[in-house]
Amino acid sequence: MEIGAVLKIIGTVISIISGLVELYQKADEYFDNPDDNNRSQYESQLIEIIRSRQAILDACTSIYQAITQLSSTMFRQVIADNLGDADQAQQALDNWRRPPQSIGQRDIALNESAGALADLLQYWRNGVYPGVSLVVPLMEVLLVRLWILKQADPSFITSEVARQPIEESVVMLRYTAGDLEARILAANQVEKTTTHRTWVRIDPETGDKERGVTTTVTVSYHNITGTATYHRSISFEKDDIDTEISDAIAGLHAEASAARSGGLSEDLRQAQIDNLRSTASRAERLLRGEEIRVVERIIGRKLSLVENAEFQTLRESNDLRGSIVKLADKYILEGELRGTLFDDMMTNCGELLSHSLTSDETQALIALARTFGSKAALRVLLHHRDSATANRVKTILDISAASMPEGQPGIEGEMPMEPTREVSTL
């Protein structure tokens, strides 16, 4: 990769990338508080991004050429098509919001935005085009996809199929930021060169020859964008004092390192590393916010700040279902789930399943909850989300009944956990 050329090109669209980051912020605010003012600010920012479409295409094309040295005609058309699909998706969404709402327009919005994002990810995943050449359009298409899902399919967060491309986009943005940063760090190194020159001096009076060697140490640095440079040398001979020479060379290194600090910061700023990571973090935060709403629907209350932080931490190493189970085990009281298990909890957990709960599954989970508590039912419900749920629960209950001391109440006897309201079958 010609990192210098790439940075120069990225520099031409810094305002656009910054605008995309601001767009994510507006979306963040709108999703958290979808009032008319936040919506208006978001849409105004989006209009500015669409107006910059030509500059985005020019920059992506130039980056592609700088990296591959290949013709960019096909690449440019592909990116233009993807961005066009995103525009069409937004137009369909706008049409759908106008009365009378047409389900066909909603489907177009969902399908076009899904296709645009899937194509860009496939190009990156399969190495068809370099990731850095795709990152600017990906930022826009990813946001459009989130925007449409939030409005046209609010339950998308419970679908692994809908979540996976968004999570993969976050990975791509962070990977590209890391790749650019590593290349910039590799190019921002203080260099030291040492040369030796042999010389001969002749005494004009005696004609005697004196031979020696002069050593020159040069310390230099320059950043990629050319805003910081350093170049100094020191020469010495073998009779010079070693400690003085070492101190002098160390001083050159210190000066060069100071120049590198500023030059590296400028190169990273030019590459928009922080903005790429900020965009990834905002997209991920939008996902996590929707997941938290699912958790809150399951337990029937808002998460505390501590629970919220714990959930965010759990999601770094667990899937959504596993995170909910671990959060419930650690923080959520049995009584909280007790009041919602028999209706709301199973309805809301059902959103996370690949199929609707059958009557047998519902009754089995109710029996499990009454015997072992709501957390046990929640654990089974989220971990065993296939058609064998009822059979798994029945096996657990049969083993439990067989191991109970004689006379101890079981499922058919006095229930240790009586529901607080009438049971309804889903």
Predicted TM-score of the model (pTM) = 0.72
pLDDT on residue 398:
59
Q: Average pLDDT for residues 192-204, to the nearest whole number?
A: 89
pLDDT on residue 104:
92
Distance separating alpha carbons of residues 94 and 385, to the nearest angstrom: 36
Nearest CA to 150 out of 109, 191, 179 is that of 109
Q: Average pLDDT for residues 338-352, to the nearest whole number?
A: 54
Model confidence at 264: pLDDT above 90: yes
Rg (CA), the chain: 32
Domain chopping of the chain, boundaries: 1-273, 282-403
Per the model's pLDDT, the better-predicted residue between 104 and 48 turns out to be 104
Model confidence at 350: pLDDT above 60: no
Judge if the upstream peptide bond of residue 100 is cis by omega within 30 degrees of 0: yes
Please list the residues that pair with 229 across neighbouring strands: 222
- List pLDDT tens digits, range 172-181: 999 988 988 9
DSSP 341: I
Model confidence at 192: pLDDT above 50: yes
Q: Average pLDDT for residues 108-121, to the nearest whole number?
A: 95
Distance separating alpha carbons of residues 132 and 118, to the nearest angstrom: 17
What value does the mean pLDDT of the chain take?
A: 79
Instruction: For residue 232, name the pLDDT band (cuts at 50, 70, 90).
Output: very high
Model confidence at 209: pLDDT above 50: yes
Per the model's pLDDT, the better-predicted residue between 393 and 311 turns out to be 311
Model confidence at 425: pLDDT above 70: no
Distance separating alpha carbons of residues 287 and 282, to the nearest angstrom: 9
Instruction: For residue 284, name the pLDDT band (cuts at 50, 70, 90).
Output: confident
Distance separating alpha carbons of residues 230 and 249, to the nearest angstrom: 14
Distance separating alpha carbons of residues 331 and 301, to the nearest angstrom: 13
Distance separating alpha carbons of residues 100 and 217, to the nearest angstrom: 78
pLDDT on residue 337:
61
Nearest CA to 113 out of 162, 167, 57, 47 is that of 162
pLDDT on residue 418:
37
pLDDT on residue 390:
58
Nearest CA to 276 out of 138, 144, 165, 168 is that of 138
Return all residues near 289 (Cβ < 8 A) that are at least 6 apart: 31, 32
Instruction: For residue 411, name the pLDDT band (cuts at 50, 70, 90).
Output: very low
pLDDT on residue 195:
93
Instruction: For residue 384, name the pLDDT band (cuts at 50, 70, 90).
Output: low
Model confidence at 348: pLDDT above 80: no
- List pLDDT tens digits, range 296-313: 877 778 888 888 889 988
* Of 185-189, 218-222, 383-387, minimum mean pLDDT range: 383-387
Q: Which long-range contacts (CB under 8 A, 24 or more apart) does 388-397 make?
A: 389/357, 389/361, 389/364, 389/365, 390/358, 390/360, 390/361, 390/363, 390/364, 393/361, 393/364, 393/365, 393/367, 393/368, 394/364, 396/368, 396/372, 397/364, 397/367, 397/368, 397/371
DSSP 155: G
Give the number of other CB atoms < 10 A from CB of residue 248. Answer: 14
Per the model's pLDDT, the better-predicted residue between 130 and 294 turns out to be 130
* Of 10-19, 109-118, 136-145, 301-310, minimum mean pLDDT range: 10-19
